[in-house]
């Protein structure tokens, strides 16, 4: 599927080479080999190979009715099946798992959502995962957390899942959302790899002429003072632009504020900034009304703001990013959020 109309590529002198995978790369000769055998020489190379789904390999993983969500086709098939109102087990409490759980529930399915952690805990931490657990339970989802799925069984088609505590859940279908791994195989032997292709803030890898961007890149972010591999399309799009500039010699550090959103039921979450670790979460507003902002702080400095159903306010709240704040003023909704800068 193309992201632009076909004439866009022609108009911009972009040659499309579709329907073939890159099979090999030889950086010493600056050449790629396509799966059909054709060789393509390059001066500069951008690795934007994204990430691949992590698959389950427990006993019974290959039964019919165990599905993954990656492509538009997966999505169409899943929607068709959910409209038949099966009992769905969703393995994985990350964004994909939680969003599929919400959609399945809204389509009238009985839903069990399972994983070792509470919903979204790995990104949003304890406080918000408890809030999201409450939202999902409130919509009628059965949460089965603190366990791993250890096996599936059924006569050809999945009928039951078994968990690490020995318990079981009967189900008509399973959707697995247990994360992705960066697609590095093509180039791994030639480049520095650490949770993806390592780049500097200009998307440059450790090999002259090779750049990386998007889900596959673990890039240095001056604003974060750390390297991070982000799995969000806003990052992929904007980092792609930065990489293109760097490739034609216009070096501009890629240092934008990370941003993503997630829709679950009527709750629209907007996250700005990036908190890799924090020492405090300050909540402004009332989560039980479905409208609040959470500020992730380290040494009183705001690292990230996660807002639910507060789009306009989240834009203003983002002004606090990287500043010290007065948390007493921040929780007080009678004080404008941008007045909460620390003394
Ligand atoms: C179901 C789903 C929902 C998502 N929802 C959100 C969301 O709500 N918000 C958000 O911010 N992000 C979301 N994401 C993540 C977002 O889609 C990714 O962060 C983004 O697509 C990454 O872009 P990318 O260009 O780095 O990689 P991709 O979009 O994965 O593109 C990589 C491309 O490289 C190609 N490729 C790989 N290997 C080869 C090879 N050897 N030869 C040739 N081509 C190759 C692939 O075929 C693919 O076309 C979602 C992802 C999924 C799967």
Q: Does domain 66-180 have CATH number 3.40.190.80?
A: no
Average pLDDT over residues 312-326: 85
pLDDT 10s digits, 274-305: 998 999 999 999 999 999 999 999 999 999 99
CB 302 within 8 Å of CB 296: yes
Cβ of 268 closer than 6 Å to ligand 1, yes or no, is no
Cβ of 52 closer than 6 Å to ligand 1, yes or no, is no
Order across the sheet with 168-170: list the strands.
Answer: 149-153, 160-163, 168-170
3-state secondary structure of 181: strand
pTM here is 0.93
Q: Which two tokens stand for residue 185?
A: 């195989």
Ligand 1 centroid to 50 CA: how many Å?
5
Q: Which of these, 202, 205, 163, 159, lies nearest to 182 by C-alpha position?
A: 205
Share the mean pLDDT of the chain: 94
Cβ of 232 closer than 6 Å to ligand 1, yes or no, is yes
**Overall size of the chain counted in residues:** 343
CB 259 within 8 Å of CB 272: yes
Cα(307)–Cα(313) distance, rounded to whole angstroms?
Answer: 8
Closest C-alpha to ligand 1, atom 14: 232
Distances (CA, A) of 160 to 170, 202, 231: 4, 49, 31
CB 30 within 8 Å of CB 40: no
Q: What is the pLDDT of residue 342?
A: 65
Cβ of 176 closer than 6 Å to ligand 1, yes or no, is no
Residue 189 has pLDDT above 70, yes or no: yes
Cβ of 186 closer than 6 Å to ligand 1, yes or no, is yes
Ligand 1 centroid to 236 CA: how many Å?
8
Q: What is the pLDDT of residue 307?
A: 95
pLDDT band at 51 (very low <50, low <70, confident <90, very high): very high
Average pLDDT over residues 163-173: 98
Distances (CA, A) of 285 to 82, 295, 341: 35, 11, 18
Q: Does domain 266-339 have CATH number 3.30.390.30?
A: yes
Closest C-alpha to ligand 1, atom 6: 232
Q: What is the pLDDT of residue 338?
A: 76
Counting residues of the chain whose pLDDT is more than 70, the rounded percentage is 99
Residue 258 has pLDDT above 70, yes or no: yes
Closest C-alpha to ligand 1, atom 28: 50
Residue 93 has pLDDT above 80, yes or no: yes
Counting residues of the chain whose pLDDT is more than 90, the rounded percentage is 86
Domain boundaries, the chain: 1-42, 66-180, 266-339
Q: Is the dihedral of CA 161, 163, 166, 169 positive or negative?
A: negative
Backbone angles phi, psi at 196, to 5 degrees: 110, -175
Q: What is the pLDDT of residue 330?
A: 84
Cβ of 49 closer than 6 Å to ligand 1, yes or no, is yes
Residue 263 has pLDDT above 90, yes or no: yes
Residue 158 has pLDDT above 90, yes or no: yes
Q: Which two tokens stand for residue 59?
A: 């006993």
pLDDT band at 315 (very low <50, low <70, confident <90, very high): confident
């Amino acid at each position: 599927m193309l992201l632009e109309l076909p004439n866009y590529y022609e108009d911009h002198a972009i040659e499309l080479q579709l329907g073939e995978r890159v099979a090999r790369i030889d950086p010493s000769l600056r050449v790629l080999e396509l799966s059909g055998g054709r060789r393509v020489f390059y001066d500069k190379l951008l690795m934007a190979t994204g990430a691949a789904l992590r698959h389950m390999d427990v006993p019974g993983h290959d039964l019919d009715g165990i599905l993954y969500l990656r492509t538009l086709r997966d999505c169409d098939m899943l929607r068709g099946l959910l409209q038949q109102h099966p009992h769905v087990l969703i393995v994985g409490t990350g964004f994909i798992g939680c969003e599929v759980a919400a959609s399945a529930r809204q389509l009238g399915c009985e839903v069990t959502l399972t994983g070792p952690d509470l919903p979204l805990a790995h990104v949003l931490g304890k406080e918000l995962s408890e809030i999201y657990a409450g939202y999902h339970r409130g919509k009628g989802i059965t949460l089965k957390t603190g366990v791993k799925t250890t096996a599936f069984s059924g006569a050809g088609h999945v009928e039951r899942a078994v968990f690490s505590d020995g318990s079981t859940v009967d189900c008509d279908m399973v959707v697995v959302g247990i994360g992705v791994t960066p697609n590095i195989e093509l180039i791994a032997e030639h480049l520095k790899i650490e949770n993806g292709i390592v780049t500097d803030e200009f998307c440059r890898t450790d090999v002259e002429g090779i750049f990386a961007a998007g889900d596959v890149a673990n890039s240095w972010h001056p604003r974060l003072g750390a390297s991070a591999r982000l799995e969000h399309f806003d990052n992929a799009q904007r980092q792609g632009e930065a990489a293109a500039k760097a490739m034609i010699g216009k070096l501009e550090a890629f240092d934008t504020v990370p941003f993503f959103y997630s829709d679950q039921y009527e709750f629209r979450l907007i996250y700005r900034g990036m908190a890799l670790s924090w020492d405090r979460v300050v909540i402004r507003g009332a989560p039980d009304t479905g409208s609040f902002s959470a500020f992730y702080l380290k040494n009183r400095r705001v690292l990230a703001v996660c807002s639910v159903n507060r789009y306009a306010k989240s834009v203003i709240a983002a002004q606090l990013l990287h500043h010290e704040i007065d948390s007493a003023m921040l929780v007080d909704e009678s004080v404008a959020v941008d007045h909460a800068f620390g003394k």
